[in-house]
Structure 1
């Protein structure tokens, strides 16, 4: 009998603090961006704001493509 192993990688949602650390910017900048409808898409969960890492990475990729054009 052979054993089957399935590895699942789940990356949770980022807090504004997580994203600020990832981007190397102050959390206040993220608040300003949300108010100005700029920056990566965010999700409101009750009173909490969260960011999906794949959405953040796609936003960064878009910025780099826009700058190359």
Structure 2
């Protein structure tokens, strides 16, 4: 009985890990993102295409941590180059790589 439970748990963990990695890889495929990003994109469209929540984009604009943006009147827009540059600059291999950035 105990062995059966362990097999189910192992199987469940593998499924969760695979799904998480697929989702993670889809969001970090810069070539694909670069291909589908228009030259200028709104926060809503950027969120849809990249998977970055609108609230995160808003926080980044307020703190200056995200991509450079253009504001015309009340409209916010991002250039494709600014978005890709920002995402590449925020790539880390370990948590200690960005610990001193605060």
Q: Scaled by the length of structure 2, what TM-score is found?
A: 0.49
- Measured in 2, the distance between the counterparts of 1:29 and 1:62 equals 16
Poorly superposed stretches of 4+, deviation over 3 Å:
none
Unaligned runs of 5+ in 1: 1-10
Higher percent of residues as helix: 2
Larger radius of gyration: 2
Paired residue for 1:56, among 62, 67, 83? 83
Unaligned runs of 5+ in 2: 1-37, 98-102
Q: Scaled by the length of structure 1, what TM-score is found?
A: 0.68
CA RMSD of aligned residues (A): 1.6
- Measured in 2, the distance between the counterparts of 1:63 and 1:47 equals 27
Q: Relative CO higher for 1 or 2, CA cutoff 8 Å, sep ≥ 6?
A: 1
